[in-house]
Amino acid sequence: MATTPAPASTRPDGDRMIVNMGPSHPVTHGTLHIVLELEGEFIVKATPNIGYLHRGVEKLGENLSYQQFIPLTDRLNYCSSLMNNVGYTLAVEKLLGIQDPPRSQVLRVLCSELARIGDHLVCIGINAVDIGAFTAFLYLFKERETIYDLFEMMAGQRLHSSFTRIGGLFRDIPAEFEPLCEQFLESCPRTVDEMESLLTHNPIWADRTKGVGAITPENAISWGYTGPCLRAAGVPQDLRKAQPYLGYESYEFDIPVATTGDIYDRYLVRTEEMRQSLRIVRQCLDRLRQIGPGPVIIEDYKIALPPKEKVYTRMESLIHHFKLIMHGMEMPVGEVYGATEAANGELGFYIVSHGAKSPYRIHVRPPCYPIFNSFDEQVRGRIIADAVAVLGGMNVIAGELDR
């Protein structure tokens, strides 16, 4: 079914049918609109129409202080908000030329990898549901629930975590975190295995995904693909290995790479990435035990707020607190581009500072934006059901797409 070629267009143009997919449609996961031009069952043109979730994040960022921008990053990729927090604070820290304490670095890696697992669980689960395989979704979302419980312990919130601060984290993890995380490390691999037994050798799943959305490495690079979609096409590009940050070079993990770039390969890459992320989480927990308790935010009170008990008892800390809230940090003049490997690919923040309290210009480079740009090419000559599979395999998150 999936490999049926499109017929050579013999019909006159007037025979085309226009189908609107979205803006509110079960497969669009967020609000996006695709205008499909059909000839019979086959798509001859797909025009994505985006911007329904445009909030003007970049414009707001120009008028907020650097700390105030952190909650806005939660809402970019809302399936893995912790990773956006980490990416943004790393970009600001690059601008400032500072590094967070070792314990905070390990915790940032830990929460990034948990968020990556959560994101991939959603992506695969939803992709399967869209195609008609409902069961895998239920297994996967049980694990996602545990991940959100862990996030709640860390940050106090499940979805919009705002966990990081410039120079570290806003608090350490509680004592109950570790037992639950250990439990998660036990149960998650089993769930991934269960999911694989439901999907990997499932002939219907293979029929619907193999060959759909296939892309050559050269083409994927030209489209600006990053992340699992690029690795599925055979390019072993992962910023955690290629341009390590947060000490990723000291963790043991592998980068899965596939060959054809189709939806099935993207699924396999994401599945293996979850297993690799679990390996990293394991190493993080061991390291946290090794490092022991310690500061999770730098003690430079011109950048990070002093602890509350000091603010209430010491004059100097109160002044620091007041200065930081009212006047912000002393920022250097310059521009940086900070990129991290988010679940979908390269998440970049381009920040131009003129030395003021708020950035002069802040730009977000969302990973799924260039990937979704190629949607027309990916579905042209295919049937609507393939468009659904491709949309799920791209993991388009409207929050980061429209900003």
Partner 1 sequence: MVTERIDAQLPGAVLDRHAFRGDETVVVAGERFLEVVDFIFGEGFQLLVDVTAVDLETRDPRFDVVYHFLNLASQARLRIKLPVAEAAPVPSLVSRFKSADWAEREVFDLFGIPFEGHPNLKRLLMWEDFPGHPLRKDFPLDGGDPFCSQDIGASYAPEARTLNP
Binding site for partner 1 (CB under 8 A): 50-51, 54, 56, 58-60, 63-64, 94-95, 97, 219, 221-224, 226, 235, 237, 242-243, 334-337, 339, 346, 348, 350, 352, 360-361, 363, 365, 369-370, 373-374, 402-403
Per-residue CA distances from 309 to 165, 305, 306, 312, 314 (Å) = 18, 11, 8, 5, 8
Q: What is the token pair recorded at 330?
A: 């002393």
Q: Are 269 and 116 in contact (CB under 8 A)?
A: no
Residue closer to partner 1 by CB (options 1, 333) is 333
Cβ-based burial of 277 (10 A; exposed 0-12, middle 13-18, buried ≥19):
buried
Residue closer to partner 1 by CB (options 6, 352) is 352
As measured in angstroms, the least distance from the Cβ of 275 to partner 1 is 25
CA 266, distance to chain mean position in Å, is: 15
As measured in angstroms, the least distance from the Cβ of 291 to partner 1 is 27
Residue closer to partner 1 by CB (options 2, 90) is 90
As measured in angstroms, the least distance from the Cβ of 77 to partner 1 is 16
As measured in angstroms, the least distance from the Cβ of 138 to partner 1 is 35
CA 328, distance to chain mean position in Å, is: 29
As measured in angstroms, the least distance from the Cβ of 85 to partner 1 is 20
Residue closer to partner 1 by CB (options 273, 402) is 402
Q: Phi/psi zone of residue 109: left (φ > 0), alpha (ψ -120 to 50 degrees), beta?
A: alpha
As measured in angstroms, the least distance from the Cβ of 60 to partner 1 is 8
Residue closer to partner 1 by CB (options 96, 150) is 96
Residue closer to partner 1 by CB (options 236, 247) is 236
Residue of 129, 124, 160 lying closest to 143 (CA atoms)? 124
What's the N-to-C CA distance of the chain in angstroms? 36
